[in-house]
Structure 1
Amino acid sequence: MMGGWAEFVAALAVFLLSHVIPVRPPVRPWLVARLGARGFGIAYSLFSIAVLGWLILAAARAPYVEVIPPLPALRWVPILIMLPVCLLAVAGLRAVNPLSFGGLGRGVFDPTRPGILALSRHPLLLALALWSGAHLLANGSLAHVILFGLFAGFAVMGMALIDRRKRRELGADWARLAAGTARLSPRGLPALLAPRVLWPAALLYLALLLAHAPVIGVSPLP
């Protein structure tokens, strides 16, 4: 039994350590000094995605222990939720975001036009929370409950932790930059429907739908 769980435990440990060590002083300043703030953000995002992919595959290969019975209706939940997840992910990655991580947009953030940050300062974490909750309901094995429950908790707690860290780092600038933003608010919903977000998100949704079975080994369709 332990042999069957070894890969999942190892992947989970690497995932947790990868989200603790690189952002701690003095590691983060050392990496930023060598890669630049933008380079660090890109490298950290790519590394996190790779570790996340490994963890998802390891959970699928772990021994099956049922926690939530597989109800057919629950298989529709990820299908429906993944479109807003893709919208949030694309909007978050394209944004200029000094208040969280993952914003790869160029330029200077304009607090009077916060865009997706009016909906959430942490669009990628919000996407992660929705993705996790939807997949937890549809995948009720012990490994998946641990995996997606951890992700959901990580996303929700991460919003508060990043807000606290950014307040400390930005000092007096925090109030000015965050004035038109929110941790969660419907005010920024129109930003999800901008063509520069909508079309890439639709393509991402389709790509994930088509790649799910060959990559994960399970069809996402009910």
Structure 2
Amino acid sequence: MQLLTLLYGLVLFLGVHSIRIFGEETRNMLIDSWGKNSYRAIYSVPSLVGLLLIIMGYIEANLEPVYLWNPPMGMRHLTILLMLVSTILLIATYIPNNHIKLKLRHPMTVGVKVWAFAHLLSNGTLADLVLFGSFLLWSILIYRNARSRPVEIIHPNWRFTALTILAGTAIWFVFIKWLHLMLFGVSPV
């Protein structure tokens, strides 16, 4: 089956990234015994293997794509707009003291939701449904769990919020204009 590699990659990658949902106590025990940096290093290995399998499986599945629907032309434009939102949300995770992080608490997870949903709007193959649908479902489940965990207290600053929006917009522009084509062989514009 042409989706098998993609499915293995998704199970491995999303499984490792779901440890907090199903094994928070085990995770904390491992961090305490190994140390945070060692835990992250070990955690990274299956994550990278899963990511590589996802990429290889997605490419393999698209050699003979199975079309489920033909998205209307306007969906590409909506996807590009939603990707701006997604990129800003992803950047909000890393810039301290911004209002977006204060409001959402876990902007990366929301950014993954927006990314996956946006790509489902403009892509109609079985591989797209499996890939982006899996990430959408995962981000919905992980966000529910993440909202229940304590979050760092931040004192938002409008300068950091503006920096978040500007940096996110700049990265989105570069990605839309050049990187998406370079990395995935498809130009969104």
TM normalised by structure 2 equals 0.76
**Kept after mapping to 1: 8 A contact 2:120/2:129:** yes
Identity value in percent = 23
Alpha-carbon distance, 1:33 to partner: 4.7
Quick check: 1:143 aligned with 2:143?
Answer: no
**Kept after mapping to 2: 8 A contact 1:115/1:191:** yes
Residue 211 of structure 1: aligned partner = 179
1:145–1:72 CA distance, 2 compared to 1 (3 A): same
- Structure 2 unaligned regions, length at least 5: none
Residue 87 of structure 1: aligned partner = 88
- Structure 1 unaligned regions, length at least 5: 97-113, 181-187
Mapped to 1, the partners of 2:82 and 2:123 lie a distance apart of 14
TM normalised by structure 1 equals 0.67
Residue 15 of structure 1: aligned partner = 13
1:150–1:6 CA distance, 2 compared to 1 (3 A): closer
Alpha-carbon distance, 1:59 to partner: 2.1
**Kept after mapping to 2: 8 A contact 1:95/1:116:** no
Alpha-carbon distance, 1:205 to partner: 0.9
Q: Residue by residue, what CA displacement relative to the aligned partner does 1:75-117 show, whole Å, maximum 9, x if unpaired?
A: 1122111111111111122236xxxxxxxxxxxxxxxxx7223
Mapped to 2, the partners of 1:130 and 1:193 lie a distance apart of 22
Q: Residue by residue, what CA displacement relative to the aligned partner does 1:50-89 show, whole Å, maximum 9, x if unpaired?
A: 7446525532431411122132221112211111111111
1:87–1:220 CA distance, 2 compared to 1 (3 A): same
Mapped to 2, the partners of 1:70 and 1:133 lie a distance apart of 13
Misfit runs of 4+, over 6 Å: none
**Kept after mapping to 2: 8 A contact 1:67/1:141:** yes
Q: Residue by residue, what CA displacement relative to the aligned partner does 1:188-221 show, whole Å, maximum 9, x if unpaired?
A: 9x96983321332123112322111121121212
1:201–1:46 CA distance, 2 compared to 1 (3 A): farther
Alpha-carbon distance, 1:149 to partner: 1.5
Residue 65 of structure 1: aligned partner = 66
Q: 151-160 vs 19-28, which deviates more?
A: 19-28
**Kept after mapping to 1: 8 A contact 2:89/2:107:** yes
CA RMSD of aligned residues (A): 3.5
Q: Considering fraction of residues, name the structure with more helix.
A: 2
Q: Which amino acid aligns with 1:197?
A: T
Q: Residue by residue, what CA displacement relative to the aligned partner does 1:94-144 show, whole Å, maximum 9, x if unpaired?
A: 236xxxxxxxxxxxxxxxxx7223431121111111111110011111111
**Kept after mapping to 1: 8 A contact 2:86/2:111:** yes
Mapped to 1, the partners of 2:72 and 2:49 lie a distance apart of 30
1:77–1:56 CA distance, 2 compared to 1 (3 A): farther
Mapped to 2, the partners of 1:5 and 1:137 lie a distance apart of 20
Number of equivalenced pairs: 184
Alpha-carbon distance, 1:147 to partner: 1.5
